[in-house]
Amino acid sequence: MDWNLFWSAFGAIGTTVGSLITGVAVVVAVKQYKQPLEKKIVVSYGTTLPIMTDNSMGSYHMFIDAKNLGVRDTTITGFYFYTKKRKYFLNNMQSPFIQPIALPCVLHQEDCITFQMDMEKVEQELISLQQRRVLKQRQKLYVCVQDAVGQIYICHKTIRFYHGKFK
């Protein structure tokens, strides 16, 4: 057996593996460098039934959560429903029973804000939009949050509103 050939092949394999590992290290380093530049806001929504201070049940509320999972602070300027063509701002629909959020507000990293609205008020507004034929029956609505530079963060669950109720 020719040992020079064996050691040359072994060295070539080692060099190839070393260069692949170096390439992976470069990709990881670039990703780590870009990470502070990225903003990541996660939007979710749901309904809640608050209990008042006198232990009575309040009316249903819709809430929108905006969570900053990025490593930069972000300024939130608006909450709204969004169709593919229009925005329906919700900033003036905050519930008077809960501490309102003063917009614009700074959302720090690893922080969450909750925007709450009286469900009846939201339903009445959407019924009004449907009666004026601004919003179609069974129109898909997306819940969105907008930041100070105009970037839109969309909740991936859609809402359908028809016959005066959310579906």
| Average confidence score pLDDT of the chain | 82
Residue whose structure tokens are 């608006």: 78
CA distance 21 to 31: 15
DSSP per-residue codes, 89-137 = E-GGGB-TTS----SSEEE-TT-EEEEEEEHHHHHHHHHHHHHTTSS-T
Instruction: Report if pTM > 0.75.
Output: no
Residue 122: phi and psi, rounded to 5, are -65, -45
Question: Which pLDDT tens digit goes with each residue over 98-139?
Answer: 777 788 889 988 889 888 888 888 888 888 888 888 777 777
pLDDT, residue 19, reads: 92
**pLDDT tens, residue order, the chain (167 aa):** 678 888 888 889 999 999 999 999 999 988 877 766 678 889 988 887 766 667 666 677 888 899 998 888 889 998 888 887 888 777 777 776 677 778 888 998 888 988 888 888 888 888 888 888 877 777 788 888 998 888 888 888 887 776 666 66
Percent of the chain residues past pLDDT 70, beyond the cut: 87
